[in-house]
Structure 1
């Protein structure tokens, strides 16, 4: 009789750049205020990568910590997936660059670009690899240097984003860990949240070569709340669970209002929701693993807890993961 194989998270890690940009400091650059930003987003500060510090650098720090916490040598990794929209270079992938720095040469390594849903997508792919027997030990990373693509004169976007990285080590196990993942996308909403830079499409005569985030904030908010509600219901139904079974909600840290709306849908008190958006803003693909590591290292999340991870990002992309930690 064959034994079912699951993937379990055996270690997490995260890293934030040293430089902290507070709302008050940001208000010296653009017409805004600490009160305006906090009221609309819940953000108080964000971390900004130093000059010359790359997405790969942040990923390396987070990955090293995750491996140490998992007590896993890099040479044991047989799959490395990195979620990012801000790769170091077009190619090789940042995952390949990270693989070499870690000394995990030889295993499959690739980037996933699903914007803010990048880590959830990467986790879903890694879970499938492990369940199929194609991998035993996977390193999944979400890392971004989004401040490199901001227009610091546009207060609707520059107040939102920050830099950071988070990572998780998954290993094959007979005990259930990742119970299910649910991934979705709808490119019809592309114009609501995007960056106009492209290789094959060119730069479209955009100022600064178009290296900036373009966003219709109110519309993104409406779609995000609706789709996250749907994916939460999908996740619960797929696992035949009532929402009361969830111990912790670990959401994408984009906006406190969106987080609160999802918590309300689950009838979860905010005390059971991991919130870090105030400390580092929206770090895109790094957001969920940063929150996950914070929850683990702070002692809030304990072994056996049932976690609901979810994210929503440009594409639009969205997804969830139900995890028995």
Structure 2
């Protein structure tokens, strides 16, 4: 049976480093101490005024393809997961396809907010499994949320950052046991109006009034229950274990959304797993939304924390609230 294996990974973050001290000066208070002690963010990367999310995607794509020794012309499909797109329309993927020279690939964007990468990974894997014309699929999670931040809102401006990261999936017809093993997508739509960017689309079209209300910027409207992510992530991990007939300790590594390190600790505790079975990247990159899970995966892969044959889980969540999980044998 055809399956989708991960051929390579890669990432790119902007060169501009924004330290916690910047926010101390900007907001006129000590936020550095809270950020270090509570969310373990020391610094993050932001785009310059000249950079856009497509720029980040292009550089991440080039690294992913170079590591796989695959040319852009060999791609059959390019999927970009982002809720900070290049334009409202057309897709960011179409723009990136042209810039990297993937002239024979199909393209589309996925927006399940910060669960986007795992959602796109699930979609791409099933394309490869079900249709022989898709043999090389590039999946990128991308985030340029700095473009949407209110510089006076310390609840958001200190956390969110920019980056792009992803993987190249390839069709495998061998009996190796490698590749995509299953996944789950679910949504709690009752939380859709609790956090997001609510202006600039059909519900609140672009206008002076919209800008005055700040609807073009990221807003936390209501505080989410702190136990929500750990509960959902744990259950999704257990669902994957049940599907694959394995125990949590048999999973080599779990890659989780990087919005809150306390939620990651709580999830690993609930699963009875040590923290060395996960990877965190928020310390120097801040929160990079749909890019953060592939960034953590790329870091773990480059550092030798995961290797061929390992069973790994990807579990993400984002505004909506959208949740996604995917299991791979590397």
Same fold (TM over 0.5): yes
Structure 1 residue corresponding to 2:12, chosen from 12, 15, 18: 15
Q: Deviations over 1:20-61 (max 9, x none)?
A: 111122211123421111222121111001111010000000
SS at match of 1:221: coil
Aligned 8 A contact 2:231 2:267 in 1: no
Alignment deviations for residues 268-307 of structure 1 (CA, whole Å, 9 cap, x no partner): 1112211111111110111111111111112221111111
Higher mean C-alpha deviation, range 165-174 or range 32-41: 32-41
Counterpart selection for 1:295 from 300, 304, 310: 300
Matching residue of 2:87:
89
Alignment of structure 1 residues 11-50 onto 2, 5 Å: 11-30=8-27, 31-50=29-48
1:178 counterpart (169, 180, 194): 180
- Report the Cα offset of residue 145 of structure 1: 0.5
* 1:242 to partner: Cα distance: 0.4
**Per-residue deviation at 1:220?**
4.8
Q: What is the CA-CA distance between 1:129 and the residue it aligns to?
A: 0.1
Residue correspondences, number: 322
Pick aligned residue for 1:250 from 252, 255, 258:
255
Counterpart check, 1:269 vs 2:268: no
1:268 and 1:41, CA in 2 relative to 1: closer, same or farther beyond 3 A?
Answer: same
TM-score, normalised relative to structure 2: 0.94
* 1:190 to partner: Cα distance: 1.2
Number of the residue aligned with 2:128:
130
SS at match of 1:95: helix
Q: CA deviation at 1:91?
A: 1.8
Q: Secondary structure at the match of 2:169?
A: strand
CA distance in 2, matches of 1:69, 1:120: 21
The one-character-per-residue Cα deviations of 1:134-187 (angstroms, maximum 9, x if unpaired) are 411100001110011111111111111110000200001133311112111121
Kept after mapping to 2: 8 A contact 1:79/1:138: yes
TM-score, reference length from structure 1:
0.95
User: In the TM superposition, what is the alpha-carbon distance from 1:222 to its structure 2 partner?
Assistant: 2.7
- 2:203 paired residue number: 201
Q: Does 1:285 align with 2:275?
A: no
SS of the residue corresponding to residue 115 of structure 1 reads coil
Partners of 2:225 and 2:145 lie apart in 1 by 18
Q: Is the 8 A contact 2:185 2:324 kept in 1?
A: yes
Cα separation, partners in 2 of 1:212 and 1:222, compared to 1, 3 Å: farther
Q: Supply the distance in 2 between the matched residues of 1:45 and 1:217 (Cα, whole angstroms).
A: 26
Matching residue of 1:70:
68
Q: 1:157 aligns to what SS in structure 2?
A: helix
2:147 is matched with which residue? Answer: 148
Distance between the aligned counterparts of 1:213 and 1:39, measured in 2? 24
Question: How far has the Cα of 1:221 moved from its partner?
Answer: 3.0
- Cα deviation 1:97-156 (Å, max 9, x = unaligned): 111111112321000011100100110000010000241110000111001111111111
Separation in 2 of the partners of 1:316 and 1:62? 27
**C-alpha contact 2:74 2:136 (8 A) present in aligned 1:** yes
Q: Gaps spanning 5+ residues in structure 2: where?
A: none
Query: Residue 32 of structure 1 contacts residue 155 of structure 1 at CA under 8 Å; is this kept in 2?
Result: no
**CA distance change for structure 1 residues 40 and 272 in 2, over 3 Å: closer, same or farther?**
same
Q: 1:100 to 1:205 in 2, by over 3 A?
A: closer
- Structure 2: how far apart are the matches of 1:277 and 1:216? 23
RMSD (CA atoms): 1.5
